[in-house]
Amino acid sequence: MSEKGVSRRGFLKASAASLATASIAGRMYAAGSDTIRVGLIGCGGQGTRDLISCVKSTPGVQITALGDLFGDRLQESLRTLKEGLEALKERKELEAEVSDVIRVTPDRCFTGFDSYQKVVQTDVHMVLLVAPPHWRAQHLQAAVDAGKHVFMEKPGGVDPKGIREVIKISELARQKKLSIVAGTQRRHSKKYQEIIRRIHDGQIGEIVAAQAYWNGGDMLGYWKWWDKENRSDVEWQCRSWPWFTWTSGDHIVEQHVHNLDVINWALQAHPEQCLGMGGRAVRTLGNIWDHFAVEYEYAKGVRVSSMCRQINGCMDRIAERVVGTKGYADVDRGVIVGERPFKYEGPDPDHYVQEMADLIASIRTGTPINEGKQVAESTMNAIMGRMSAYTGRALRWDWAMVASKLDLTPPKYDWVAFPPDPVAVPGKTQLI
């Protein structure tokens, strides 16, 4: 792990300088070979699961590089990965030998704040960007500069500055004919694709309203909370990243982005303005809230009601409904009710595996796909909803996207004192 502190400006400058010397040989998919070499940046539970999905998606995947802030997390990921692939082998879901898939050697295990630079400088064809969302733009820039294809977990960032950067970098990837697939896996569901196609074909008439929900339980059993103990503020918050706004964006951004992405997809647009509210009824960890409700207004006066909650003991609802003049679509259920009723009963393979299969197919066939802008815009839905709820202010998309100066980046990437911001209080927290 790097012991040297780096300022944000110096961090990016050093990144650009090192990437300028990256090997050209590692930038292109090896024509005539079916092997896809993959690197992972961010070795938490989700990153490890994404690697397993990647291996399941198609033969010929080799995992050759790992990078994470923390060495213990990297080693835990490597152990879990081996166990997961051995289980696939036992169930005859993996033809290759596990040793042929995991080609990670000690000199290709990188830790520290600069570990992502070292991963993209190896000869991987594609990288999985699964570090906490705060680092999405920086890691995407490094991967695209190095000529790597990208799987980028959602969300696309945590603040307007990061979203603007992701959109610019995604355009650069398009120019370089590099693929970017985002972790909004519903876009790769056969069921979702069919219902959205029918919405676009006008089978529920003109869209007049929609609802999006991620109301579920507390995620403490899913994500580990680290006690501070003798850790620095930065290490403690990075290890406990889901519970801090600067690292995760709050759960409306980190989790509810899935449902908001479906709404943007169905409406083929982003909202024009929003008004949000919410709070922290039972949560005691970190500085994020545990519930939000946001009303988004799209063109032609279409209003979308959005709810998300992480509180145990309540009714759960994770769903998307789109309402038209001739009926409505429960997209998550694959059902249309109205003048032209429909229920999807076809195959719907594992979306997490399918998104990887689609990405690798695009690399092998030389037909890039680029989901960078769409996940950035859906993330911006969630960010502006959070900004509105935190401050108690209504805000417009154009202001949030163009004029907002909100940048949650810490002054220095180092294991230093960095007290977390206080929990937001509407009417007192400033709109920036």
Q: Which residue type sits at 213?
A: Y
Q: Compute the CA torsion angle 296, 298, 304, 307 (nearest 10 deg).
A: -30
Whether 392 contacts 93, CB under 8 Å? no
Cα–Cα–Cα angle for 49, 379, 47, nearest 5°?
15
Instruction: Supply 98's token pair.
Output: 């596990």
Q: Which residue type sits at 60?
A: G
Could you give the C-alpha distances from 163 to 47, 88, 248, in angstroms and in order? Answer: 21, 37, 14
Whether 155 contacts 163, CB under 8 Å? no
Q: What is the pLDDT of residues 191-237, one digit of tens each?
A: 999 999 999 999 999 999 999 999 999 999 899 999 999 999 999 99
Predicted TM-score (pTM) of this structure: 0.92
Q: For the chain, give the number of residues.
A: 432
Specify the pairing of strand 317-324 against strand 207-216.
antiparallel
Distance CA 77, CA 80 (A): 5
Distance CA 188, CA 54 (A): 14
Phi-psi domain of 268 (left: phi exceeds 0; alpha: psi -120 through 50; beta: other): left
User: First CA to last CA across the chain, in angstroms?
Assistant: 34
Asked whether the bond before 155 is cis by omega within 30 degrees of 0, the reply is yes
Q: What backbone phi and psi angles, to 5 degrees, belong to 212?
A: -135, 135
Cα–Cα–Cα angle for 418, 410, 402, nearest 5°?
145
The per-residue pLDDT for 344 is 98
Q: What backbone phi and psi angles, to 5 degrees, belong to 417?
A: -70, 130
The per-residue pLDDT for 221 is 87
Counting as low any pLDDT under 70, the low residues of the chain are 1-33
Q: What is the pLDDT of residues 259-270, one digit of tens each?
A: 999 999 999 999
Whether 360 contacts 240, CB under 8 Å? no
Q: What structural domains and CATH numbers belong to the chain?
A: 6-186+354-371 (3.40.50.720), 190-347+379-413 (3.30.360.10)
For 8, the enclosing helix (H) or strand (E) is helix 8-19
CB-based burial of residue 222 (10 Å sphere; 0-12 exposed, 13-18 middle, 19+ buried)? Answer: exposed
Whether 38 contacts 64, CB under 8 Å? yes
For 372, the enclosing helix (H) or strand (E) is helix 372-391
The per-residue pLDDT for 324 is 98
Q: Which residues contact 188 (CB under 8 A, 6 or more apart)?
A: 351, 354, 355, 358
Q: Which residue type sits at 345?
A: E
The per-residue pLDDT for 8 is 39
- In three-state form (DSSP H/G/I as H, E/B as E, the rest C), the secondary structure along 250-297 is CHHHHCCHHHHHHHHHHHCCCCCEEEEEEECCCCCCCCCCCEEEEEEE
The per-residue pLDDT for 217 is 97
| Three-state secondary-structure class, residue 419 | coil
Q: Which residues pair with 127 in a beta bridge?
A: 39, 150
Query: Which ranges of 112-232 would DSSP assign to H, the alpha helix?
Result: 115-120, 136-145, 160-175, 190-200
